[in-house]
Every structure is written in C-alpha cells, then in structure tokens.
Amino acid sequence: MAVKMFAMVPSMKLFFGKTPEAQQSRVGGGGFIAAAFRATGCRAWPFWVFGILLLGPAAWQSAAAEQAAREPYMIIGDIRGATGQPVEFSAVVRHLPAGTVAVEWSMHLVLPEFTQAVIRPGRGVPPNATVDVEPGEGGPPAFRFRVSAPEGEVLRGGELATVTLPAPGRMLQRAPVAVSAVRAVTVDGEQVVLSPPQPTIAFALFHDPIPLFALLAGCVGFIFWLGQLPALQGFFRYFPPLIWCYFVPMLMTTAGITPDASPLYAFMSRVVLPAVLVLLLMPSDVRGIARLGGKAVLMMLFATTGIVVGAVVSFTLFAKAMPGALPDDAWRAVPALAGSWIGGSANMVAVIESLGTPPGLIGPMVIVDTVLAYSWLGLLIALSAYQGKIDKYHRADSRIVDEISAHLKAEHAANARDPRIVDVALMFAVAFVVSQLCLSLGGPVHSFFQTILGWERFSEVINAFGWGILLITAAGLALSFTRLRALDYCGASSLGYVGLYLLLTTYGARANLRAILEVPVFFGIGFVWILIHIAFLYLGLRLLRVPLFLAATSSMANIGGTASAPVVAAAYNQSMAPVGLLMAIIGSVLGTPLALFVIATICRAVAP
C-alpha cells in the first residue's frame, strides 16, 4: 500500500497541473479515474472516492475560473497624478477575438476641467494604427475612444493606447471612473463586448516619489522630536510615536496632500521591509526568551491563541450573519490585521504583501488597527496602577519578573557601545544582502509548491514574496546565534526601527479616513476580536497565576509588537521594557506564519 500511495503522486500532479493532459483530465473525468486506477490499483478505491469527493469540486471550480480568465477584457490601472502636472494612463486589452480590427470604449473622467484628452497608439498595436477621441454623451469630461488597426492588419492585445490629460488644478479624493461600452469590432463587423475595468482617479499635492519620501521622513523626525519635549512626554506615553506615524500620513492623504498609491510605497515594501525584518530579528536573544520561564511563554501563547481564535470566530460570525456587508477579498484583509496583532506592524506589512491585499481594504484595516489597538494600549497602561491589587487577587508570583529585569539590565550595561563606521556598514550589508537573497529564493520555493507538488490553491494563500518573508524570518533568527547579533549593542535594532517607522508612514498614507465608511463592518469584526482576546487573557491569568505585568505585556506584544510592548512593560516596571521587547519577538516570529498559514487559510475557506 505504501508503494501504491507514493504512486498516486504523479496522478495527483496530473490532476492539479497545467499540462494539456491535466486540462484533458479535468474535462474528461474518465481519463483521470482510469489513470488513477492504473497507478494505484483497485484496492485503493476508498482513497480515490474520498479524494474525488474532496477535491473534485475544487478542480471543476478551477477549470471554470481558467475558462473565465480567457474571456476578453480591458485593463486600466488607477489614475494617479499631482496637481499642476499632466496625467497619463494606459489602456491594455487581453484575449481579443480573432480578427479584431478595432476596440472602442467610453470613460467619464470626473473633473469638469478635463475638457480634452490626447490619445496615442500603445506599444501593443501595429504601426500606423489610428486612434480617435471625441466627446462622449453629455460632453467632457466624458470621452469616447477608438483604436483601429491599419487596413489588412488586426489587433492582437497588449497595450492598446496611452491617454494624456491636462494638468488638474486641484486635489481630488479617490473617485470611481465609469468605463462603459467596451467593444471589440472584428473584420466581419461583429461586436464583442469586453469586460470593463473599474479604475479610480485621484490627484495629490505630492506625487513624485522623491519629494514624497522627503515629506514622510520629515514627518517621522518631527514626531519623534515632539516626543522628546518634556511638556509632551506624558501625552506620548499614552499615544506613542508609532500611532502618529500611521495617523499623520493618513490625515494628509484624506486631505489630498499625499497620494494613496505611489511607486515609493512599492519600493518601501519590496526593499526596505525585508531589510528591516533582518535588522529586527538578527539581535533576537532566543536564549533570553527561554529564560523568561514556562509560565511567561505560556501566557504569551494564551494571548496569541486569543488573537488567532478571535480572528477566525469574528470573521466567520460576520461572514455568515452579514455576507453582503463584507467586500470582495475581505478574507485577505483579516489576516493582514492579524499579522499586526501578532507581533506588530512589520508582520502586517509582510502579510499584506504576501496575500496581495487590495489597496482599498488596507485603509480600513489600518484605521481599525489604529483605533482599537491604541485604545486597548491606553487601557492596559491605566491598569498598571492597580497591578498590586490584581496580582494579590490572583495570588500571582512576581519573583521571576524581578530576576529577569536585573539580568537584562546588567547585560545591556556591560555590552553597549558607540557605533563605528564598520558597524553601520555591516548593518546595511547584512540587512540588504540577506533580505534580497531570501526574496530571490522565494520564487523557486513558491514554484516548487505550485508546480511540482501541484498545490495551486495553496499558492493563493502565500505568494513568492510571502515565501521570501518566511525565509527572511528564519535567516534573521539563525543570525541571532552568530557574532552578528552583537551589532545590536551599537544600534542595529534602532536602525531597524527607523526603517520601520518610515515604512509605516507609507502604509498610513495609503489609508483614507473616508474609506472606513465604505466597510464599517470591519469595526464590528475588530471589536468582537478584541473581546475574544481579552477572554483568553483572563483565562491565562486564572490558570497560570502570572502577574498582571506578564499578561498585559503579552497582550501588547501581540497587538502592538516590538514598538508598543516595551511601553506597556515600562509602565508596570521601568526596568522591564527589554522584557516587553523579548516577548514581542515571539510574536514577530509567530505572526507572519500564523496569519498566512492558519488565519488566511481558514478565512479563505469560510469567505462568502
């Protein structure tokens, strides 16, 4: 039986693969069953019956999706630009019918000042193709576009045309662009309807990546400068700089100062994020985490379990009770928030990029994260005034906390030193070389699972970038056992935090406060989620008899991560901020895998 079970693998690959044989097996189930029985023998029929019942519907659904993907359609990306500068966008077509000689479509470009539009042939049309634009129904800003092939030639798809609009004179919030009457005209005169795109249009005061980066970097510096002022330190104790690195760019985008999409944001996510993860994980004191003791680690796991269960239960509850209220691809947004609530914002960023969370859902999730997480942060800090009474009520033992605090203070005092040029050079070299090497290996790992093992549906949950992030996590922890860990004594993690705060400004800038009005259901999901997390915290307190310090720090190590957990830890004991960081490292290690493999998989299964 073992030999026959291994023999099933090629047939399973045939069933899931994209080869012509696989396509034939999907259409003709008899061929697949015959091949299966030839490979495994009739005595394995119970396994095949179970496999057909389990995987058959998914295979037919996949075949239908592939058929739909071959339908003709048009692509127009979101139209973005800066006030006072001309705006350009492209129209792309896919899967045109054979013999197409012309494509035409209508667009309403929102701003009345767009009284004209200039169209040029794209790179995907034959030379000497003709392009036409004329006012649409009701006149500008509605236009009618047409691209025609030269006589005797046809259009085959690709970039159809490039459209240039005059410089807008004012800022514009993200608004939908109506694209209609998209048709392909064949040589026989037949008109074939193409699936229309649904782009949005927006114009911001800052659009060029370099000035935009300078603005966001200036925001980070100004926020931290304010945090050092004696008169504001009490305020920033309850509302740390992290929240303002989200919130200030969010306000600027809402006001139209910064765009909600920019090449800068993609660069920060693909280059800066991986390097930041290396810098934050490389100094991890894994042995120190072990010295926290079994109860401390168990309390951290109680808090993490509360986040995982809360994510699944709250999403399932609203998905079943209010399926129409959830937007499409909502299952990609909940794991992103879970990534933030298991280890901090770096994990959220990693999950967003790994799952391909739509930009329209990032804004609401960032707002829910900001409002609920930092409301909970303030409550945890307020509870520190009552920790003695609560510990006495639960008969908690706080001796382990005192011992860890003394040890960590001694270790830091003995090893801290000023950075040298060689230290900073090593930080940059290790961060970028290791991160980009891991990202380059993410593609082959993804292909292995998708092509060789045939796990196509699994590839929907984590893409090549996601595998790269997981490899970076493993590499960062591996480096913590080498001498490179000593770079933290001269500021490696501090450099990582600077990069993280800069990165967070780009995610805050992607959000628009008006976006939460589009999906208020996420606030309900987040509220139920937090309640379930609190229930698990209380259960851990009662069962483990740990001090409130560990419960509060465990909670914020999950929900706030490495930036907020030390704040809560220091509120309970000023010398215990490093313990909060150590516990947050557990969350940073667990966050991305749990969000991608557990929460995303379950949410994908229960999504309406």
Q: How far apart are CA 269 and CA 197, in angstroms?
A: 26
Domain check: are 297 and 441 in the same one? yes
Residue 374, H or E segment? helix 359-383
Q: Please give the backbone phi and psi of residue 78, each rounded to the nearest 5 degrees, phi first.
A: -60, 135
Q: Are residues 44 and 108 in the same domain?
A: no
Looking at the structure, tell me whether residues 200 and 256 fall in a common domain.
Answer: no
Alpha helix positions (H), 120-208: none
What is the CATH classification number for the domain harbouring 157?
2.60.40.680
By DSSP bridging, strand 158-165 and strand 100-108 are unpaired
User: How far is 142 from 456, CA to CA, in rounded Å?
Assistant: 42
- Between strands 130-135 and 172-176, the pairing is unpaired
Q: Tens digits of per-residue pLDDT, 433-448? A: 999 999 999 888 878 8
Q: Compute the distance between CA of residue 188 and CA of residue 190 in angstroms, rounded to an integer.
A: 6
So what's the pLDDT on residue 428?
94
Greatest Cα pair distance, the chain, in angstroms, is: 89
89 in the same domain as 28: no
| Range of the structural domain that residue 249 is part of | 209-606
Instruction: List strand residue ranges (DSSP E) for 401-555, in order.
Output: none
Which token pair is 562?
Answer: 């490495």
**Token pair listed for 585:** 């490292």
Cis peptide before 121 (omega within 30 of 0): no
Query: Are 179 and 224 contained in the same domain?
Result: no
What is the bridge-based pairing of β-strands 142-148 and 178-186?
unpaired
| Residues 464 and 405 both lie in one domain | yes
Domain limit, last residue, from 16, 38, 69:
69
Q: Same domain for 313 and 263?
A: yes
pLDDT of residue 515: 61
**429 and 323 housed in the same domain:** yes
Same domain, 382 and 247: yes
Q: Cα-flanking dihedrals φ and ψ of residue 472, to 5°?
A: -65, -40
**pTM for this entry:** 0.60
Q: How many domains does the chain have?
A: 3
Is residue 46 packed enough to be buried (19+ CB in 10 Å), middle (13-18) or exposed (0-12)?
Answer: exposed
- What size, in residues, is the chain? 608
Q: What count of Cα atoms within 13 Å lies in the side-chain half-sphere of residue 247?
A: 13
Give me the sign of the Cα torsion angle 477, 480, 482, 488: positive
Q: Which two tokens stand for residue 18?
A: 């994209």
- State CA 351 to chain mean position distance: 4
What residues in the chain have per-residue pLDDT under 50?
1-69, 460
- Domain end call among 69, 96, 114: 69
Nearest to 246 by CA among 88, 341, 362, 101: 362
| Secondary structure class of 477 (helix, strand, coil) | helix
Measured CA to CA, the distance from residue 429 to residue 439 in angstroms comes to 15
Q: In what order do the strands lie in the sheet with 200-204?
A: 79-82, 200-204, 172-176
Shared domain check, 109 and 18: no
Whether 301 and 436 map to the same domain: the answer is yes
pLDDT of residue 288: 61
Helices (H) and strands (E) in the chain, counts: 25, 12
Both 61 and 78 in one domain: the answer is no
Angle at 93 between CA 89 and CA 98, to 5 degrees: 155
Residue whose entry in the numeric block shows the structure tokens 């092939």: 149
Residue where one domain finishes, among candidates 69, 86, 112: 69
Residue pair 437/275 in contact (Cβ under 8 Å)? The answer is no
Give residues with Cβ within 8 angstroms of 17, minimum separation 6. Answer: 451, 454
How confident is the model at residue 454, as a pLDDT? Answer: 59
**What pLDDT, on the 0 to 100 scale, is given for residue 49?**
39
